[in-house]
Structure 1
Amino acid sequence: MRLFGLKTCDTCRKALKSLPEAEFVDVRSDGVPEEVMQRALRLFGQALLNTRSTTWRGLDPAERERSPLELLAENPTLMKRPLIESEGELYLGWTGETRAALGVS
């Protein structure tokens, strides 16, 4: 199991605390493998972008129109977090649905 997120993200820290066996991958320093990012984009579409982030608000309208893969490659903090890869499945966010699917209460 791998958890892609940011060390400074409170939600990622909560998820890691509940998933101590997960390998943590900091998207800012380590990035997300292209294959994982492509799968995540196919599964989650625009929901993969955190449009409520400070980074998103700092982009001008022309930049926001670029492909999500380009935006995420240049600005990994734009990714909604955490992105969790477990047994071939991907989960986005630390929602009740994600916790249930991973068997965490």
Structure 2
Amino acid sequence: MNKTEKSCFMEDFGVGPYIVYGAGVLGGNLASNLYWQGFVIAFGLMVWIGAYDTLFLDWVLFTNMKMFRLEGTEHMDKAYHQKWFHLKGAIFPGLLFALIPAALVGLFISLMG
């Protein structure tokens, strides 16, 4: 089969559009996978930082050691011991706002890949 016979075969059976479509689907899946990988890694990192901030800094360090507190708030012992307040703050605005930079990181990773 020579070159012209191969091109006639592709034209007769309509193989060309399927090859182009298949390449587009595979490329789209690759970009989608890169997006989700970047998103999950960035979101996981922000969740880890938020958990560290809430569980260690807010619940242990600032609560028990007055030398780490902000100047002028040394007298606010009850406010520093409100664990539920800090946990709600980490969940609602913390995780919600973490979605935005995670989505941007996923977009940048998929565009670079």
Query: TM-score range, shorter-chain basis?
Result: under 0.3
Higher relative contact order, structure no. (Cα contacts within 8 Å, ≥ 6 residues apart):
2
Task: Provide the TM-score with structure 2 as the length reference.
Answer: 0.22
- Which protein is bigger by CA-based radius of gyration? 2
Task: Provide the TM-score with structure 1 as the length reference.
Answer: 0.23
